A and B are shown apart, each in its own frame.
Chain A
Amino acid sequence: MDSDRRGQWLRGVLDICVLALLRERESYGYQLAQALDAAGVGPIQGGTLYPVLLRLQRTGLVTAQWREGTAGPARKYYRLTDDGREALRQGGSAWLAFVAPVSDVVTKGVAG
């Protein structure tokens, strides 16, 4: 039930999280999954992550390029585009605007 609900929340915001992570530096799927896990968002399976990346790529918010890493195999690196930066700004603000009141309401409920 819990992981189910978490999955539902994530579905709405995973693309924004990915855009946000890519703002720092370009990255590839596995690294993004690890970064999200490390940040505490929880484990993200490839089956969830890659469709999101592909959709971002299709809509032009990120570009992708296959490159040999310094070590290890060739990886598909994603990089934020200007459109992506703009989408992050808008989507991120919208998320924050949504989550702040939700937090207020929930906080009151939990505290009371």
Chain B
Amino acid sequence: MNRLLTVAEMTLRELLRRRGVLLLLLLMPLTFYLIRRDAYLGQSVRSLLLGVGWAVSTAALFATTAARELEPRLRLAGYRPHHLYLGRMLGLWTVGLVISVPFFLLPLVDGAELRYAGLAAAMLCSVGVAAPFGMLIGALLPRELEGTLLLLTVVTVQMLIDPAGSGAKLTPFWSSREIATWAVDHTDEGYLSRGALHGLAVTTLLVLGVAAVASVRLRRRRHLRHLPVG
């Protein structure tokens, strides 16, 4: 447990010190929100959620790429793979929740008539999905640039795709969009439960994906035999 928390803590410290990146990441949801502000509130809130998802997954991507060389040696220093990826995820989720707070308050201050519980749930989904999503991309792609471009593509697709279409459910952030519809347009409860289920399922799948990649990458290799010191 201590190992897990130490990794989480160090992830947190690292991210909070990347002030420039953090600021730019926060700017994105804000501009998303403000651009759509005049037209239609629903669109504005959805963009905001997508922006939060983008910010957190990018942070996760950066954190994962930065730790690429460090993790093998931490593994040798006594960490198990799950300490490393769960600890990092825990740190990222914490950062995600912290940066969500101002964006949760933004529509509130703006005087929007929303189901705020819905907004909170949607934000949770965004953050929940984004951290393992960014980590998975960071683990699979060799460099930050490729990862960032892929994230950008996903976010754009997410923004442009027809949410009612069957393909939309395959996009990672569909859950928060669905719940946002419930929150903004006061639609029936089906939106909420569908969204929540989707969010939970996607988060679980992504966490399992991250776990699988980390376990393979940090596995004990077959050619190496460890004997205790006798």
Instruction: Please say whether the chains A and B touch (CB closer than 8 A).
Output: no
| Chain B residues within 8 Å of A, Cβ to Cβ | none
| Chain A residues within 8 Å of B, Cβ to Cβ | none
